[in-house]
Amino acid sequence: MLKALREKLQSMMVFLMEAFGRIFTPRNDHYPSTGAQPFTGTPSRKS
């Protein structure tokens, strides 16, 4: 019983650490050096 509880806690900690790693790692988005481009199309009509 104690071993199962320890394994469950360990798997929860691994899950949380992986989530924190995904949240706080730098992005690998390869935007152009000018940044995101503004919208140049025509906006839709509001009804």
CA distances (Å), origin 14, targets 9, 21, 23, 46? 9, 10, 14, 48
Q: Which pair of tokens denotes residue 20? A: 């924190």
- The Cα–Cα gap between 47 and 42 comes to 15
Using CA atoms of 37, 38, 40, 46 in order, give the dihedral in degrees to the nearest 10.
Answer: 140
Mean of pLDDT over the chain: 85
The pLDDT value given to residue 31? 67
Chain centre to alpha carbon of residue 43: 30
Q: Is the per-residue pLDDT at 47 higher than 70? A: no
pLDDT per position as a tens digit, 4-31: 999 999 999 999 999 999 899 887 777 6
Q: Please tell me the pTM assigned to this model.
A: 0.51
Q: For the chain, what are the domain ranges?
A: 1-25
